[in-house]
Amino acid sequence: MSFSLNDKRPIGIFDSGLGGLTVLKCLLENLPNEEYIYLGDLANLPYGNKSTKSIIDYSIKCIEFLQSKNVKCIIVACNTASSVALKSIKELSSVPVFDVINPCVDNIVRTDNKKVAIIGTEKTIESDVYSALIKKHKKNIKIYTQACPLFVPIVEEGLGGSKIAKLAIEYYLSNIRAHNIDQLVLGCTHYPVIIKELQKYFNDKIDILHSGPFISEQLLKYFKQKSKREKAPIYYVTDLPDRFQTLGNRFFNQKINSVTLVNI
C-alpha cells in the first residue's frame, strides 16, 4: 500500500452513527493536516443486530458514496462492518481500506497479557473475528467475549454517564470482571464514549483499548505530517442530521457546525 505525500484528497470515514467520531477525534489529534469526510449511516443504525447481507449492502453503499467524494482512502470506523463486510468492501473499493479490528489485534499480540476480554455488538461477537486473529499469534491466551447490544443505543441517546449506562455495564460485564482480566478491548467505536464509566467499573486496574489511537498510528506510517490545514471535517448522514449534530457536540473535541442529509 503506497500513497503520495502530495495527495491532498480527503480521508473518508464511515460508521453506522456517532461511534466513528471516536476514531475521527483521534485522527484530528494525530493527523491534523489531513482533510476528512465523515458519513454516518443513521438510517440503518444499528448495524450490530442486522443480517450479514444487510451489513454488506449498507457498507458497499457507504464506500460508493465516499468514493464519489474523491477520497484517497477509506476507514471502516465500524467494528461490525469490519468484522463481516471487510472482504466485500476491499474487493469493491478503488482506494485503500483501513479497518478498526486489525490495529487493535496487533497491539494485543505484542503484550504479555494472559486474559483478555472483547466486548462488541452481537454481530461482531458472533463473527469471532477478534479471537480468531489473536489466536493465530497467541494460542495460549484466554479470551472472554460479551455482546453488549444496549451500549450503542445508550451512546446514541446521549446517556453515557447515566444510571442506565451503569446498570447496563453491570448487567453485561459482571461475569467478565469476575475473571480478573488484564485487558478489555472495546470492539465497537461507540464504546469509548463510556470509557470513564468502564474504567471506574474495573477500578482503574485494567488496560482498556479502543481502535482510534491505533488507526492514527497506522495512518501516520503512510501520511507524513507537515503544516496544519484549518479545514473542518465535512459531515454527511443518511438520517437525523440535527440529532447527529447535537449528540456529536456532546463528546467530540470539535464543534460540528454543519451536517448534510444524503440519500445513498
Catalytic residues: 78, 188
82-117 burial: b if 16+ Cβ within 10 Å, else e: bbbbbebbeeebebebbbbbbbbbebbeeeebeebb
Cα 46 from chain centroid (whole Å): 13
C-alpha cell recorded at residue 261: 442529509
Q: Which residues contact 16 (CB under 8 A, 6 or more apart)?
A: 40, 41, 42, 44, 45, 46, 47, 48, 58, 78, 80, 81, 152
DSSP string covering 87-156: HHHHHH-SS-EE-SSHHHHHHHHHS--SEEEEEE-HHHHHHTHHHHHHHHH-TT-EEEEEE-TTHHHHHH
Cis preceding-peptide flag for 46 (omega within 30 of 0): yes
Give residue 188's Cα distance to chain centre. 5
User: What would the grid cell of residue 244 be?
Assistant: 447527529
Q: Which of 210, 207, 171, 206 is nearest to 194 (CA)?
A: 210
- C-alpha–C-alpha distance, residues 191 and 195, integer Å: 7
Q: What are phi and psi of 60, to 5 degrees?
A: -65, -40
Locate 88 and state its grid cell.
466485500
